[in-house]
Homo-oligomer: A and B are copies of this chain.
Amino acid sequence: MPADDVTVRRPTLTQVAALAGVSLKTASRALNQEPNVAPATGRRVRDAADLLGYRLNGIARELRRGATSALVGLVSGDLTNPFYSAVASGIERELRQHGLLLITANNDEDAMLERSLVDAFLERRVRALLVIPSADDHEYLAIEGNHGVPFVFLDRPPDGLAADAVLIDNVGGARSAGEHLLAAGHRRIALVADLVRMAPQQGRIDGFVGAMRAAGNNAWEPYIRTDVHDVRHAERTVRELLTLDPPPTAIFTTNNRLTTGALRGMRGLADPPALLGFDDFDLADVLGTTVVAHDMTALGREAARLAYERISGHTGPARTIVISTSIIARGSGERPPR
Protein backbone atom coordinates (compact mmCIF):
# COMPACT_ATOMS: atom_id res chain seq x y z
CA MET A 1 0.00 0.00 0.00
CA PRO A 2 1.79 3.15 -1.13
CA ALA A 3 1.60 6.35 0.81
CA ASP A 4 -0.36 8.15 -1.87
CA ASP A 5 -0.53 11.54 -0.25
CA VAL A 6 2.37 13.27 1.37
CA THR A 7 0.46 16.40 2.24
CA VAL A 8 0.10 16.79 5.94
CA ARG A 9 -2.53 18.59 7.87
CA ARG A 10 -1.20 21.79 9.24
CA PRO A 11 -0.34 21.50 12.94
CA THR A 12 -2.50 23.33 15.42
CA LEU A 13 -1.53 25.21 18.50
CA THR A 14 -2.78 22.30 20.58
CA GLN A 15 -0.18 20.07 18.99
CA VAL A 16 2.56 22.59 19.55
CA ALA A 17 1.52 22.86 23.19
CA ALA A 18 1.51 19.11 23.59
CA LEU A 19 4.98 18.80 22.11
CA ALA A 20 6.29 21.57 24.34
CA GLY A 21 4.59 20.01 27.35
CA VAL A 22 2.58 23.09 28.24
CA SER A 23 -1.04 24.07 28.11
CA LEU A 24 -2.72 25.46 25.04
CA LYS A 25 -3.01 28.88 26.57
CA THR A 26 0.62 29.07 27.55
CA ALA A 27 1.65 28.19 24.03
CA SER A 28 -0.62 30.94 22.75
CA ARG A 29 0.95 33.41 25.14
CA ALA A 30 4.46 32.42 24.17
CA LEU A 31 3.88 32.81 20.44
CA ASN A 32 2.07 36.10 20.86
CA GLN A 33 4.83 37.72 22.86
CA GLU A 34 2.52 38.20 25.78
CA PRO A 35 4.13 39.04 29.12
CA ASN A 36 4.47 36.62 32.00
CA VAL A 37 5.92 33.68 30.17
CA ALA A 38 9.06 32.16 31.66
CA PRO A 39 11.96 32.48 29.19
CA ALA A 40 12.61 28.75 29.22
CA THR A 41 8.95 27.98 28.53
CA GLY A 42 8.89 30.48 25.72
CA ARG A 43 11.87 28.91 24.06
CA ARG A 44 10.45 25.44 24.39
CA VAL A 45 7.22 26.51 22.73
CA ARG A 46 8.96 28.31 19.91
CA ASP A 47 11.19 25.33 19.25
CA ALA A 48 8.19 23.05 19.12
CA ALA A 49 6.44 25.41 16.72
CA ASP A 50 9.45 25.55 14.42
CA LEU A 51 9.85 21.81 14.51
CA LEU A 52 6.27 21.22 13.45
CA GLY A 53 6.22 24.05 10.92
CA TYR A 54 3.40 25.65 12.85
CA ARG A 55 1.72 28.71 11.45
CA LEU A 56 -0.96 30.64 13.21
CA ASN A 57 -4.44 30.11 11.86
CA GLY A 58 -5.53 33.64 11.04
CA ILE A 59 -9.06 32.54 10.35
CA ALA A 60 -9.55 31.17 13.83
CA ARG A 61 -7.88 34.19 15.34
CA GLU A 62 -10.08 36.56 13.44
CA LEU A 63 -13.17 34.69 14.45
CA ARG A 64 -12.23 34.84 18.09
CA ARG A 65 -11.12 38.44 17.96
CA GLY A 66 -14.34 39.69 16.51
CA ALA A 67 -15.09 38.19 13.17
CA THR A 68 -13.46 40.89 11.16
CA SER A 69 -10.46 40.35 8.96
CA ALA A 70 -7.41 42.40 8.12
CA LEU A 71 -8.57 42.71 4.56
CA VAL A 72 -9.81 45.69 2.64
CA GLY A 73 -11.73 45.12 -0.56
CA LEU A 74 -11.43 47.04 -3.79
CA VAL A 75 -13.98 46.69 -6.52
CA SER A 76 -12.87 48.41 -9.70
CA GLY A 77 -12.66 48.01 -13.42
CA ASP A 78 -10.05 45.95 -15.19
CA LEU A 79 -6.56 46.39 -13.81
CA THR A 80 -5.11 46.45 -17.29
CA ASN A 81 -6.41 50.00 -17.44
CA PRO A 82 -3.51 51.96 -15.95
CA PHE A 83 -5.93 54.25 -14.19
CA TYR A 84 -7.28 51.43 -12.07
CA SER A 85 -3.92 49.84 -11.48
CA ALA A 86 -2.36 53.12 -10.39
CA VAL A 87 -5.20 53.63 -7.95
CA ALA A 88 -4.87 50.07 -6.68
CA SER A 89 -1.17 50.56 -6.20
CA GLY A 90 -1.73 53.70 -4.15
CA ILE A 91 -4.26 51.92 -1.99
CA GLU A 92 -2.08 48.91 -1.42
CA ARG A 93 0.93 50.95 -0.36
CA GLU A 94 -1.10 52.90 2.17
CA LEU A 95 -2.85 49.85 3.60
CA ARG A 96 0.36 47.93 4.00
CA GLN A 97 1.61 50.52 6.46
CA HIS A 98 -1.27 49.58 8.71
CA GLY A 99 -0.91 45.85 8.31
CA LEU A 100 -3.91 45.57 6.06
CA LEU A 101 -4.08 43.58 2.86
CA LEU A 102 -5.93 44.43 -0.31
CA ILE A 103 -8.37 42.11 -2.08
CA THR A 104 -9.19 43.19 -5.59
CA ALA A 105 -12.01 42.23 -7.87
CA ASN A 106 -12.97 43.45 -11.29
CA ASN A 107 -16.58 44.42 -11.83
CA ASP A 108 -16.25 44.28 -15.63
CA GLU A 109 -18.26 47.50 -15.53
CA ASP A 110 -21.33 45.42 -14.78
CA ALA A 111 -23.61 46.58 -11.99
CA MET A 112 -24.92 43.11 -11.16
CA LEU A 113 -21.46 41.64 -10.93
CA GLU A 114 -20.36 44.58 -8.83
CA ARG A 115 -23.10 43.91 -6.37
CA SER A 116 -22.28 40.25 -6.05
CA LEU A 117 -18.60 41.07 -5.53
CA VAL A 118 -19.53 43.52 -2.80
CA ASP A 119 -21.56 40.74 -1.23
CA ALA A 120 -18.66 38.34 -1.40
CA PHE A 121 -16.38 40.89 0.24
CA LEU A 122 -18.85 41.60 3.00
CA GLU A 123 -19.21 37.90 3.72
CA ARG A 124 -15.47 37.77 4.09
CA ARG A 125 -15.84 40.52 6.65
CA VAL A 126 -13.54 43.02 5.02
CA ARG A 127 -12.69 45.90 7.29
CA ALA A 128 -13.55 48.43 4.64
CA LEU A 129 -14.77 48.49 1.11
CA LEU A 130 -13.37 50.74 -1.60
CA VAL A 131 -15.37 51.01 -4.77
CA ILE A 132 -14.77 52.58 -8.14
CA PRO A 133 -18.39 52.01 -8.97
CA SER A 134 -19.94 50.99 -12.16
CA ALA A 135 -23.44 50.70 -10.75
CA ASP A 136 -25.58 53.81 -10.64
CA ASP A 137 -27.41 53.12 -7.44
CA HIS A 138 -25.72 52.31 -4.18
CA GLU A 139 -28.65 52.57 -1.92
CA TYR A 140 -28.49 48.87 -1.19
CA LEU A 141 -25.28 49.55 0.65
CA ALA A 142 -26.92 51.88 3.15
CA ILE A 143 -27.80 49.10 5.56
CA GLU A 144 -24.23 47.84 5.45
CA GLY A 145 -22.82 51.15 6.52
CA ASN A 146 -24.73 50.82 9.77
CA HIS A 147 -23.02 47.57 10.49
CA GLY A 148 -19.70 49.27 10.78
CA VAL A 149 -18.23 48.58 7.38
CA PRO A 150 -16.85 51.84 6.03
CA PHE A 151 -17.27 52.51 2.35
CA VAL A 152 -15.16 54.81 0.28
CA PHE A 153 -16.10 55.71 -3.26
CA LEU A 154 -13.36 56.53 -5.70
CA ASP A 155 -13.59 58.62 -8.84
CA ARG A 156 -17.39 58.48 -8.81
CA PRO A 157 -19.65 59.78 -6.08
CA PRO A 158 -22.02 57.51 -4.18
CA ASP A 159 -25.62 57.69 -5.23
CA GLY A 160 -28.39 57.28 -2.70
CA LEU A 161 -25.98 56.95 0.19
CA ALA A 162 -23.82 59.19 2.32
CA ALA A 163 -20.27 57.89 2.22
CA ASP A 164 -16.71 59.10 2.01
CA ALA A 165 -15.46 59.77 -1.47
CA VAL A 166 -12.30 60.80 -3.28
CA LEU A 167 -12.97 62.47 -6.57
CA ILE A 168 -11.07 64.24 -9.29
CA ASP A 169 -11.74 67.87 -10.11
CA ASN A 170 -13.38 66.89 -13.36
CA VAL A 171 -15.20 70.13 -13.98
CA GLY A 172 -12.20 72.30 -13.23
CA GLY A 173 -9.82 70.14 -15.21
CA ALA A 174 -12.06 70.04 -18.25
CA ARG A 175 -12.74 73.76 -18.05
CA SER A 176 -9.04 74.56 -18.08
CA ALA A 177 -8.59 72.14 -20.97
CA GLY A 178 -11.22 74.08 -22.91
CA GLU A 179 -9.59 77.37 -22.00
CA HIS A 180 -6.20 76.06 -23.00
CA LEU A 181 -7.40 75.18 -26.48
CA LEU A 182 -9.28 78.44 -26.84
CA ALA A 183 -6.17 80.33 -25.84
CA ALA A 184 -4.26 78.57 -28.61
CA GLY A 185 -6.76 80.08 -31.00
CA HIS A 186 -9.05 77.11 -31.58
CA ARG A 187 -12.78 77.45 -32.09
CA ARG A 188 -13.82 74.27 -33.89
CA ILE A 189 -12.95 71.95 -31.01
CA ALA A 190 -14.20 68.39 -30.99
CA LEU A 191 -15.29 66.80 -27.74
CA VAL A 192 -14.94 63.04 -27.60
CA ALA A 193 -16.46 61.70 -24.40
CA ASP A 194 -17.24 58.35 -22.86
CA LEU A 195 -20.62 57.25 -21.46
CA VAL A 196 -22.41 60.34 -20.22
CA ARG A 197 -24.22 58.37 -17.54
CA MET A 198 -20.95 58.14 -15.65
CA ALA A 199 -20.55 61.08 -13.32
CA PRO A 200 -16.92 61.88 -14.10
CA GLN A 201 -17.71 62.04 -17.79
CA GLN A 202 -20.62 64.31 -17.16
CA GLY A 203 -18.41 66.55 -15.08
CA ARG A 204 -15.78 66.74 -17.78
CA ILE A 205 -18.37 67.54 -20.40
CA ASP A 206 -19.87 70.23 -18.19
CA GLY A 207 -16.49 71.80 -17.53
CA PHE A 208 -15.61 71.86 -21.20
CA VAL A 209 -18.99 73.22 -22.23
CA GLY A 210 -18.69 75.85 -19.50
CA ALA A 211 -15.40 77.08 -20.96
CA MET A 212 -16.91 77.29 -24.43
CA ARG A 213 -19.95 79.19 -23.18
CA ALA A 214 -17.84 81.61 -21.16
CA ALA A 215 -15.85 82.40 -24.30
CA GLY A 216 -19.00 82.79 -26.36
CA ASN A 217 -17.79 80.07 -28.69
CA ASN A 218 -20.31 77.78 -30.32
CA ALA A 219 -18.30 76.71 -33.34
CA TRP A 220 -17.53 73.48 -31.52
CA GLU A 221 -21.09 72.23 -31.38
CA PRO A 222 -21.09 70.14 -34.54
CA TYR A 223 -18.12 68.21 -33.16
CA ILE A 224 -19.51 66.73 -29.98
CA ARG A 225 -19.31 62.94 -29.78
CA THR A 226 -20.40 61.21 -26.58
CA ASP A 227 -20.87 57.62 -25.40
CA VAL A 228 -17.68 56.57 -27.09
CA HIS A 229 -16.71 53.71 -24.88
CA ASP A 230 -13.60 51.97 -26.11
CA VAL A 231 -10.34 52.55 -27.90
CA ARG A 232 -11.51 51.26 -31.28
CA HIS A 233 -14.64 53.34 -31.15
CA ALA A 234 -12.60 56.42 -30.30
CA GLU A 235 -10.26 55.75 -33.19
CA ARG A 236 -13.17 55.49 -35.64
CA THR A 237 -14.80 58.56 -34.18
CA VAL A 238 -11.70 60.69 -34.59
CA ARG A 239 -11.23 59.48 -38.17
CA GLU A 240 -14.82 60.42 -38.89
CA LEU A 241 -14.42 63.84 -37.31
CA LEU A 242 -11.44 64.56 -39.51
CA THR A 243 -13.44 63.92 -42.68
CA LEU A 244 -15.91 66.66 -41.83
CA ASP A 245 -15.87 69.92 -43.76
CA PRO A 246 -14.66 72.00 -42.13
CA PRO A 247 -12.85 69.62 -39.80
CA PRO A 248 -12.22 70.43 -36.15
CA THR A 249 -8.86 72.03 -35.49
CA ALA A 250 -8.54 70.53 -32.02
CA ILE A 251 -9.78 67.51 -30.12
CA PHE A 252 -10.43 67.09 -26.41
CA THR A 253 -10.73 63.49 -25.22
CA THR A 254 -12.17 62.89 -21.79
CA ASN A 255 -10.20 59.88 -20.60
CA ASN A 256 -7.08 57.86 -21.25
CA ARG A 257 -8.79 55.22 -23.38
CA LEU A 258 -10.23 57.81 -25.69
CA THR A 259 -6.91 59.62 -25.92
CA THR A 260 -5.27 56.37 -26.97
CA GLY A 261 -7.93 55.90 -29.62
CA ALA A 262 -7.48 59.45 -30.84
CA LEU A 263 -3.73 59.00 -31.13
CA ARG A 264 -4.32 55.91 -33.23
CA GLY A 265 -6.88 57.70 -35.36
CA MET A 266 -4.50 60.58 -36.00
CA ARG A 267 -1.49 58.43 -36.70
CA GLY A 268 0.45 59.39 -39.77
CA LEU A 269 -1.36 62.64 -40.41
CA ALA A 270 0.93 65.27 -41.88
CA ASP A 271 -0.92 68.08 -40.22
CA PRO A 272 -2.77 66.72 -37.21
CA PRO A 273 -5.28 68.69 -35.19
CA ALA A 274 -4.37 69.78 -31.68
CA LEU A 275 -5.04 67.11 -29.06
CA LEU A 276 -5.62 67.43 -25.36
CA GLY A 277 -6.56 64.44 -23.24
CA PHE A 278 -7.93 64.02 -19.75
CA ASP A 279 -5.73 61.63 -17.68
CA ASP A 280 -1.99 61.46 -17.97
CA PHE A 281 -0.42 58.29 -19.37
CA ASP A 282 2.89 56.61 -19.75
CA LEU A 283 4.91 57.85 -22.70
CA ALA A 284 2.74 60.90 -23.17
CA ASP A 285 6.00 62.80 -22.87
CA VAL A 286 7.57 60.87 -25.72
CA LEU A 287 4.48 61.33 -27.85
CA GLY A 288 4.29 64.99 -26.92
CA THR A 289 0.69 64.75 -25.82
CA THR A 290 -0.73 67.54 -23.70
CA VAL A 291 -2.94 66.26 -20.91
CA VAL A 292 -5.01 67.17 -17.91
CA ALA A 293 -3.02 65.31 -15.28
CA HIS A 294 -3.92 64.30 -11.75
CA ASP A 295 -2.28 62.08 -9.21
CA MET A 296 -3.95 58.68 -9.51
CA THR A 297 -1.77 57.10 -6.89
CA ALA A 298 -2.72 59.87 -4.49
CA LEU A 299 -6.35 59.19 -5.24
CA GLY A 300 -5.89 55.63 -4.05
CA ARG A 301 -3.78 56.68 -1.12
CA GLU A 302 -6.31 59.21 0.12
CA ALA A 303 -9.13 56.73 -0.20
CA ALA A 304 -7.18 54.19 1.81
CA ARG A 305 -6.45 56.87 4.39
CA LEU A 306 -10.12 57.75 4.78
CA ALA A 307 -10.96 54.08 5.12
CA TYR A 308 -8.28 53.59 7.70
CA GLU A 309 -9.53 56.48 9.76
CA ARG A 310 -13.00 54.96 9.83
CA ILE A 311 -11.59 51.57 10.71
CA SER A 312 -9.76 53.22 13.57
CA GLY A 313 -12.99 54.53 14.94
CA HIS A 314 -13.42 57.92 13.34
CA THR A 315 -17.05 58.88 13.13
CA GLY A 316 -18.64 61.91 11.63
CA PRO A 317 -20.28 63.00 8.43
CA ALA A 318 -19.20 61.74 5.05
CA ARG A 319 -16.19 63.52 3.65
CA THR A 320 -15.23 64.22 0.08
CA ILE A 321 -11.68 64.81 -1.04
CA VAL A 322 -11.09 66.34 -4.42
CA ILE A 323 -7.86 65.64 -6.25
CA SER A 324 -6.75 68.65 -8.23
CA THR A 325 -5.71 68.62 -11.84
CA SER A 326 -3.12 70.47 -13.85
CA ILE A 327 -2.39 70.80 -17.49
CA ILE A 328 0.92 69.43 -18.67
CA ALA A 329 1.77 71.09 -21.96
CA ARG A 330 3.77 68.79 -24.22
CA GLY A 331 3.06 70.19 -27.64
CA SER A 332 -0.03 68.49 -28.96
CA GLY A 333 -2.32 70.88 -27.12
CA GLU A 334 -0.41 73.94 -28.23
CA ARG A 335 -0.56 73.35 -31.96
CA PRO A 336 -2.31 76.36 -33.53
CA PRO A 337 -5.37 75.97 -35.76
CA ARG A 338 -4.49 75.34 -39.37
A contact residues vs B (CB 8 Å cutoff): 4-10, 53, 55-60, 62-63, 67-71, 78-80, 82, 85-86, 88-89, 92-93, 96, 101-106, 119-125, 143-144, 146-148, 260, 263-264, 267, 281-283, 285-287, 297, 315
Contact = CB atoms under 8 A, between A and B. Distances in A.
Nearest to A123: B58
Nearest to A6: B146
B88 A104 contact: yes
13 contacts: A57-B63, A57-B67, A59-B63, A60-B67, A80-B85, A89-B106, A92-B106, A96-B106, A101-B124, A263-B283, A264-B285, A281-B282, A282-B283
Contacts of A120: 101
A88 B79 contact: yes
Given A59-B59, A59-B62, 17 more contacts: A4-B315, A7-B146, A7-B148, A10-B147, A53-B143, A53-B144, A53-B147, A58-B123, A58-B124, A69-B124, A71-B124, A79-B86, A80-B86, A88-B104, A101-B105, A103-B104, A282-B282
* Shortest 6 CB-CB contacts between residues of A and residues of B: A85-B85, A58-B123, A7-B148, A79-B89, A79-B85, A53-B143
**Which of A7, A58, A88: most chain B Cβ within 10 A?**
A58
Contacts of A106: 89, 92-93, 96
A283 B297 contact: no
Contacts of A105: 92, 96, 101-102
A197 to B, nearest CB: 24
Contacts of A287: 283, 286-287
A78 B79 CA distance: 12
Contacts of A281: 282-283
A68 B58 CA distance: 10
A6 to B, nearest CB: 6
Contact of A7 (B9, B63, B147): B147
Contacts of A282: 82, 260, 281-283
B8 A146 contact: yes
A92 B104 contact: yes
Given A7-B146, A7-B147, A63-B59, A89 B78 contact: yes
Nearest to A105: B101
Contacts of A57: 63, 67, 123, 125
A249 B263 CA distance: 28
Contacts of A102: 103-105
A327 B161 CA distance: 51
A105 B121 CA distance: 17
Given A96-B106, A105-B102, A123-B57, A79 B79 contact: yes
**Which of A59, A267, A281: most chain B Cβ within 10 A?**
A59
B80 A89 contact: yes
A315 B59 contact: no
**Which of A6, A55, A287: most chain B Cβ within 10 A?**
A55
